[in-house]
Structure 1
């Protein structure tokens, strides 16, 4: 690979120019994650796969829904059956997503996806339910059909996590399809917290997985917590840096009090944010208020091979 070609990767451009990934995680209330064999062609995933009902719901306006495919794994997968995860926001103030997992016959896959989307009774599916609430799931995007950067940089991160950290009883690591932000490849989602990471480097993976290093080491890799929206995520990162790892156990809720109306809401120049939290044992609770505003811009490429554009960067004042 020539230096010229290497610099065409969107994530290389983003990282070289110092783009801060915070605030780029999609705010989500429900995740539908389905085990599907490769290759994941975009049009087939959307129009002709067991995930099609979820993508249809997204097209119809369910902006707080995300659908993801995961690749079968020789250790986790069972022939003839397909694994389905549903992660849902349990309440307004929360710390992590509620997990449901099912192992269903392949010919019943679309039916259970539809049932989960419609939130109908799941009595019929109880026989397929798996008691795996204790298992942490890490999904690494390697979806080269969407952007080559995800395959080029995501695959080595997946392989290292899978080989050095995965245990069937406590932590499973999966290759997954696109969930946004390939300019931050390699990128992953950590469940059940719903934290999203980007611009990952192999040396910081122990800190991310084991959570035994100062959180400040992970600051520049944090894309945000998907329980919050963009500007709320920017404030949440600062509070996490102050509180340390215990912050992940705190119930949190964010709110935009006021915002620049001259620009698109996602691209606003400023926002006033209110973020409240409560410790799970009731020992502490508080409300933080902060102003987030533009502090400059950097050049970044949204997709590999495309021309770089100016992207706003933010700070808390």
Structure 2
């Protein structure tokens, strides 16, 4: 009984035991900025690192553009003795290249610390100034980067379950074309161990060791990965749920298709919510538009379309689907003895086809 009580302190144990489906929880991201930050990492990682305050101030300028801010992620990666130059700081910048896409475009830099904030300014706001940093850019577009959250000081589940997965991946799967990194929290602690796979931007959770061959080598039946897929960050919540169904049908080749999604119709909620959503969408304030988007994520049903094309442009089409709420499941959003349980919605795809 004590072992069970101890395990239930971890949000990931509660979530997995209750079979919470992780799909649709990856977040929607247009731009990623990854920066090497020495450990240890406190729970408030960035604020606790004075040497990174100039960088943080640059990124926080995005707050004046709420929708872009919401779709941009700043992550720390831990230096690695094999990959890292202790005299320099490494920066990855992944960006959505266009509306219809399959992989994020990648830029990697190794540069002196005093150039970090100016580089971030150029990447995020002044791309015309990137020519100043050409000498620091690394020819690593061909290298796949795997990030595992091990940020135990933010949530103990990420240390308990994330770090062993990181060690295993780092020791058994890293090659000259695949690097494995520890990262700080990026949400979804209840799905630990959770992982991001770049340049595709797929997010995974509740991972088990025997799933790794399939995930890393991209071979075998994709259906075995279904329970662990949190979604593709190029799409919104309900689009991610539908995209999993397409992938399950089309297999590995689907990852190479350029794709995008759009919402066709959805449950608008009660009269008050309908009225406020309509008003917020029409107001010029970006914060109100963002609030309307967040409200829409609580819909009980959504009709959507996902369009796709291959690189050659000779195989294209559109899938449509209706995603409906099927009920709720009890989970825990953060580890700890005094953290209450909560209910989250669960969904399934209906009326699916071309």
**TM-score, normalised by the number of residues in structure 2:** 0.86
Structure number having the greater helix percentage:
2
CA contact (8 A) 1:188 1:198 kept: yes
What is the SS of the residue equivalent to 1:130? coil
**CA RMSD for the aligned pairs?**
1.5
Specify which of 341, 351, 354 is matched with residue 308 of structure 1: 341
Alpha-carbon offset, residue 308 of structure 1: 1.1
Distance in 1 separating the partners of 2:26 and 2:126: 25
* 1:6 paired residue number: 7
CA contact (8 A) 2:23 2:241 kept: yes
Alpha-carbon offset, residue 40 of structure 1: 2.0
Q: Which runs of 5+ in 1 are unaligned?
A: none
Larger Rg: 2
* 1:149 paired residue number: 157
Q: How does 1:73-84 map to 2 (within 5 A)?
A: 73-84=80-91
Q: How does 1:287-302 map to 2 (within 5 A)?
A: 287-302=318-333
* 2:266 paired residue number: 259
Deviations along 1:235-275, one digit per CA (max 9) or x if unpaired, are: 00000000000000000000011122217322211111110
Q: 1:191 aligned to 2:209?
A: no
Aligned residues: 316
- Summarize the Cα distance change of 1:85–1:272 in structure 2 as closer, same or farther, 3 Å threshold: same
**TM-score, normalised by the number of residues in structure 1:** 0.96
What is the SS of the residue equivalent to 2:231? strand
Distance in 2 separating the partners of 1:222 and 1:150: 17
Alpha-carbon offset, residue 57 of structure 1: 4.0
Alpha-carbon offset, residue 44 of structure 1: 4.4
What is the SS of the residue equivalent to 1:302? coil
Q: How does 1:55-204 map to 2 (within 5 A)?
A: 55-57=59-61, 59-60=63-64, 61=66, 62-121=69-128, 122-167=130-175, 169-204=176-211
Distance in 2 separating the partners of 1:294 and 1:144: 32
Distance in 1 separating the partners of 2:238 and 2:45: 34
Deviations along 1:118-149, one digit per CA (max 9) or x if unpaired, are: 14320110000001000000000001121110
Q: Which runs of 5+ in 2 are unaligned?
A: 274-294
